Amino acid sequence: MEELYTLEREVGRGSYGVVFEGHMAKTGQTVAIKRLPCSNPECIELYLQELWAMRTTAKNHVNIIALHSCLLQTGRRSLKPLKAGKLPPHLVENVLKGSVAATEQSQERNNVQSNTRRRTNSASRLQERTNTVQARAKMQDRTTSHDSTTPQRPPSRARKRSAQREEEQPGPPRCLALWLVMEYCDGGDLNQYLLSRPPEAQRNHSVVQQLCSAVAFLHSLGITHRDLKPDNVLVCRTPKGPVVKVADFGLSKMSEGEVDASRQRFSSTCGSDFYMAPEVWGGRSYTAQADIFSLGVMFWAVLERITFVEEGTTKEQLGAYVCKARSGWLMPLGEALWENADLQLCIPMKFKRAPPLPPPPGPAMCTLLLDMLASNPDARPLADQLEARVRSALEEDSR
């Protein structure tokens, strides 16, 4: 790793991997390096989906996180670049078989256990011979310790020999982890960036328009993200304002063949509670229009600065919801609309919130948000229409 990149510090950690800030050894360019341990077939499948989606988007859109390279870790200090356009065949095989070859650590542990068993058997045989000699000598010295006469192999030598045997084993190389080297975003995620600053309408409008452009690009390539939320939107600070980047494609899916992304149907329930569409909440099949609903939740939260603290955490997050008046319990919009498809959402929100707050969205933008949050997926605008509709609504409300 040191020959190619240097790791500086950990900047993020999630359910599947760890992200570090690092630098390219030759140029000194700052990069983000994500380590994804290949511990089970389910995780490997998510990693390959993320890698494939990022390779498909490449560096073709300013609002999609750019992938510089991917490295395969096959040993503790063994890394090799993965060729562009190819997936590691043994990892694909692991996913298809539903099993993962033993990792270096587990094989070493097995070797050590095997050595221990051999030493135990040798000690038992030596003990039997010693007992026979002692019996013939009429038990001349009962204080002789078996441990003192049994040769012990130094642990370091055992580890060295185990490693030598591993190197000699034929077959495809094991993959301990995938390392994704991506562009580094110095503004953190969308929650961190926006909530650490006073609200500003122009900045909010810019964020909304950039996200429209990013999702339209993804859908045009047949990619459905399936986990759009502020945590998965990163921010690069520039003199002209924030540039947002959609990231984290672990749950993304690509349409098969020439099938339009808006028509490809999915069945697995995935995403984050407060941003999931009602059809996903209900366990029904869904299309890329579920991404439009997630965008609608984010847009509403960004434009009105609506936040919540999820149960079990202390982190404030951007997200719209339905508030149960009596209990004060917050219900995700998708869940509420699944339970009641005729639920009337109040945009802008009508309950009192603490300042400072941006001005509420105008009538045209409120109408667009209601369309994006429609319980019927077919009533939501398509991604390729959304960018123009957002621009038109913002212009109309500014008159």
pTM of the model: 0.78
State the pLDDT at residue 259: 58
Active-site residue, 147 included: no
Q: Is residue 201 pLDDT above 70, yes or no?
A: yes
Do residues 196 and 210 lie in contact, with contact meaning Cβ atoms separated by under 8 Å?
no
Dihedral of the alpha carbons of 331, 336, 338, 340, in degrees to the nearest 10:
160
User: Cα–Cα distance between 268 and 282 in angstroms, integer?
Assistant: 11
CA pair distance 239, 224, nearest whole angstrom: 31
pLDDT in tens, 165-193: 434 445 555 678 889 999 999 999 999 99
Could you give the CA distance from residue 75 to residue 311 in angstroms, rounded to a whole number? 40
Residue 260's pLDDT band (cuts 50, 70, 90): low
- Cβ atoms 65, 185 nearer than 8 A: yes
Contacts of 20 (CB under 8 A, 6+ apart): 7, 8, 9, 10, 11, 32, 33, 34, 35
Structural domains in the chain plus CATH codes: 1-101+176-184 (3.30.200.20), 186-398 (1.10.510.10)
From 189, 227, 231, 248, the catalytic residue: 227
Q: Using 50, 70 and 90 to split pLDDT, how confident is the model at 109?
A: very low
Tell me how far apart the alpha carbons of residues 197 and 158 are, in angstroms, rounded to a whole number: 57
